[in-house]
Structures are given as C-alpha cells and as structure tokens.
Amino acid sequence: MHEQFWHQKWEKDEIGFHEGEVNRFLYEYFNALKLAAGARVFVPLCGKTRDIAWLLDNGMRVVGVELSEHAIKQLFAELNLEPKVESLADGLHYTSANIDIFVANIFCLNSELLGEVDAIYDRGALVALPEDIRTRYAQTLPILTNNAPQLVVTYNYEQSQYSGPPFALAESEIERLYASIYALKKLASRQETEGFAKGIDVENAVWLLGS
C-alpha cells in the first residue's frame, strides 16, 4: 500500500480497519510481555487506536508512528490531550504526557529518534502491509527497538477470497519474518465468520515474540 492510499482512507473517513473499542487480545494477553509500570511501548502504524488510551491508563508510556496527521489530530482530541507539535526533517512529532507520536513514514525513523523501547504492540501494522513492504518492516523493527519483544495480532484466511488489507498471515509467514530473531509463541486464537472478510472464515490470533 502506498502512502497516498492511507492518506485518502483517513481523509475520506474510510476507516473500517479502526476498532472503536480496545482490542480484546491486548487486555487479555498484554501481561505476557511482563513489563514494569512506566515501560515504553511502541505502537507502529497506530492510527487513532483506542488501545493507546488503554496502555496509558495501565501505566505505560506510548510511542507511535503514523502516516496520517489527520488520524493523530483525532487521537489527541479523543485522549483530551493538547499536544506540543514539532517539525522534523521527515515529518512531525506530537508529544504530551507519557505519549510521543511521530507523523512520518516508519522507514524514516531511526533508533536515536525513536528512543528507548521496552516492547512493541502490533495490532494493525504487520497485517496492513503487502509482502514486499512487510518483509522490510519486519527487518526494520528489531533494528529500531534493539530486538524489543512484541505482542502481535494477526489474521489468517484464504487470501484468494479477500484482497486485503488486512492481509492473511499464516504461521509459516510469521516464522519466515521473525523466527531468526525471536522465539515465537501463539498465545491464543479465535475463529471469526463476520467482519472485514464478509463471512469468510478467519483465524484471529495473538503472538508473543520474545527472547
């Protein structure tokens, strides 16, 4: 997906991918990351996800990256926070109490700019990317975060029945992308027959990627 695709989705409010509630896997399995209070969690391609509010409410600090400034303005408004906005060479930096959001292409970030990351929560990033960009993304994350552990939400279904995004990610794809860096553990999965895939059988799963 090119950048303009996502900009248009947000500008036209075509955001069926946005979950209006906190993701169930997040509050059921976040403790698997074994983070201390005040840990800094990276949420890539974050949009205005309600998961950020949950993380903040549960004592985490949050850093995110998102292409659409439109989405980030909505995020801060819904959090009832007035951000400080700083211009960067390749984007913008929105900050407020315990939250940093970069309005930029994730591939423009570096570890120095991003800062310390204790864990990654990936609900909507990996599944949003076609294979060529997905591979680059999976190679970039460990470099940006010094191999920080991840909690990753995925979907698996017959790709020929739905074009995506979100794209289908079989277990073999998770292994291809991450097994050389992380120990992989599928924490849970559930079957869905309604929603984005219009009646197609979908496995929604959550993975722990650790050391």
pLDDT at 18: 44
> Domain tally for the chain?
1
| Residue 200 confidence (pLDDT) | 87
Tokens of 51: 């998961």
Give the pair of three-digit tokens for residue 55: 């993380």
Domain that holds residue 40: 3-13+20-210
Q: Is 40 a known ligand-binding residue? A: no
**CB 179, CB 126: distance < 8 Å:** no
Mean pLDDT of each 10-residue bin along the chain, 211 residues long: 54 52 95 98 96 97 95 95 96 97 96 97 94 95 98 94 90 98 97 76 96 88
pLDDT at 47: 92
CA 40/CA 56 separation, integer angstroms? 10
- CATH code assigned at 161: 3.40.50.150
144 labelled ligand-binding: no
Q: What is the pLDDT of residues 178-201, one digit of tens each?
A: 999 999 999 999 998 776 667 788
Residue 67 labeled ligand binder? no
Residue 6 among known ligand-binding residues: no
Our measurement of the distance from residue 14's CA atom to the centroid of its chain's CA atoms, rounded to an integer in Å, reads 18
The pLDDT value given to residue 3: 61
